[in-house]
Chain A
Amino acid sequence: GQNIDQPTEMTATEGAIVQINCTYQTSGFNGLFWYQQHAGEAPTFLSYNVLDGLEEKGRFSSFLSRSKGYSYLLLKELQMKDSASYLCAVRSRTGANNLFFGTGTRLTVIP
């Protein structure tokens, strides 16, 4: 089966750094995605990891350890507009566009 775990909610202060963790157990692995979803809107792509290590993209970074079934999303210099749900998703095999999603982490940024 597939199992993806993320914290349900997190709160952080504007300007700070926050790390959102994701652990997964899937029958196969062909990439891990992070999406951002604002309330009432569609998810938007943030990052993709398929090899171990850190991928950096501006204020956002994502890390993957395949041996540990673990990833995190790091958000730096938090802004109020970063308040959203962050979804971790795993693609379990190549040649397929079906993603297994965690239930998401709702991040609230406070002044």
Chain B
Amino acid sequence: KAGVTQTPRYLIKTRGQQVTLSCSPISGHRSVSWYQQTPGQGLQFLFEYFSETQRNKGNFPGRFSGRQFSNSRSEMNVSTLELGDSALYLCASSPSAGHSAAEQYFGPGTRLTVT
């Protein structure tokens, strides 16, 4: 079974631009969560989608948004990029709606650098 895939793996953008990142979950998984990882803050939750609906949202500004398609693939978008948005963006898929020990499987991440 293929793992979680994320594209692109690396991205360099300029302040003020916008960016779209993509995540394909493990086949059959309906939950996709997004996290931002930085050296100082660690992993921070952005949002979670389940069956095309955003179920949970972390404490990030409205510049961060996402969506999920009927095939469970998910995208996240960051508009008006700031230098502080430079980070590793990880997505994780899970087969469940968060009721059990079902773990989240992480993708390799997209390394975003904002200059």
Instruction: Name A residues whose Cβ lies closer than 8 Å to a Cβ of B.
Output: 30-31, 33, 35, 41-45, 48, 50, 87, 89, 91, 94-104
Contacts and interface: CB of A to CB of B under 8 A. Distances in A.
Contact of B48 (A43, A45, A96, A103): A96
A45 B42 contact: no
Q: Is chain A's binding surface mostly helix, strand, loop or mixed?
A: loop
A95 B99 contact: yes
Contact of B104 (A45, A94, A104): A45
A42 B41 contact: no
Interface string B86-106: 000010101011110101111
B78 interface: no
Contacts of A100: 45
B109 interface: yes
Interface string B58-95: 10000000000000000000000000000000101010
